[in-house]
Structure 1
């Protein structure tokens, strides 16, 4: 029996994102995101319960400013004292693991999906999910974009507006498009 599209996605294989089961997961994520983004801050707290329940794993002291968006949520793991400023987006078709004490400026985006380069396959919704791993004590400046398949080492800094297309070693600062060591 062939693997489901969700199983293919989780295994890092080519899959079709135009799948009913994946649509249902994205709908559940939209509902949790909506709850987080629309609850008054004194009721929502640092992270709305619906969003916390959706994630694969979160420490108790994670703080996510509204608005926030994720595509599935089920692939996101957040360490202790992770902070997201307003307007961050995680398109988590692949696993996204974020280490302790990592901070995100406003409008940071993480994109795990890579659409097929063949236009005919791309139009059929064929894509592949690549994981993103961000170590502890990382700072990602506002408006930065992190692409799938990237690992950012501990204590690294990603400058505002940088587009991270390749791994970032521990303890360095990267800036620009594409991001390069400064």
Structure 2
């Protein structure tokens, strides 16, 4: 099993793997280009997103700056907007449904590390240095008609249902069912969303 396959399977994997680093650097270069493209140059932005993302529907708008780990594990539905300064650590799949609004400074994480330092880094080398830290992943799935408020953080493995509003500044650590408004740290359901 390759490190890429381990990564997508949620197993411990080596972030320093050559294949992973090649895609990571490609994504960093593409996001740099995207973030530096003139705002009105929609054709160039579209070209970059086509090369960067795993898939997308119609009418995707991403306001720069935008940051990713690999890019090709991110999938958008139709009519989605991502506001400025969002970070998507797509070490596993991030799937976002139709009609999503993602406010500024939202962070979506799919990667996490073992809490035990020895499991994270392994044994030190003779010179005292360590390899890249070991990482695990879990996908993030976001349904249709979801609005994620500014500064929210979505943690690995979270699924958010359809017709959900996540309040600004929330830290979403557990699944959120459809048709609710939820907020807080940790994020909790406040009421139904009719």
Query: Which stretches in structure 2 are left out of the alignment for 5+ residues?
Result: 122-130
Query: Residues 121-174 of structure 1: CA distance to partner in whole angstroms, max 9, x if unpaired?
Result: 212411111000000000000000000100000001100000000000101111
Matching residue of 2:106:
108
Provide the alpha-carbon RMSD of the alignment. 1.3
Decide whether the 8 Å contact of 2:75 with 2:96 is kept in 1: yes
What's the TM-score, normalizing by structure 1? 0.95
Distance 1:60 1:33 in 2: 20
> What is residue 66 of structure 2 aligned with on the other side?
68
Q: Give the TM-score normalised by structure 2.
A: 0.89
Judging changes above 3 Å, is the alpha-carbon distance between structure 1 residues 104 and 45 closer, same or farther for their aligned structure 2 residues?
farther
Question: What number of residue pairs does the alignment pair up?
Answer: 180
Q: CA deviation at 1:21?
A: 1.4
Distance (Å, rounded) in 2 between the aligned partners of 1:93 and 1:99: 19
Q: Which residue of 1 aligns with 2:28?
A: 30
Give secondary structure in 2 for the equivalent of 1:26.
helix
How far apart, CA to CA, are the structure 1 residues paired with 2:145 and 2:44?
19
Shift of 1:53: 1.7
Moved >3 Å (runs of 4+): 44-48
The 5 Å alignment of 1:83-98 reads 83-98=81-96
Bigger Rg over Cα:
2
Q: Aligned partners of 1:37 and 1:48: how far apart in 2?
A: 12
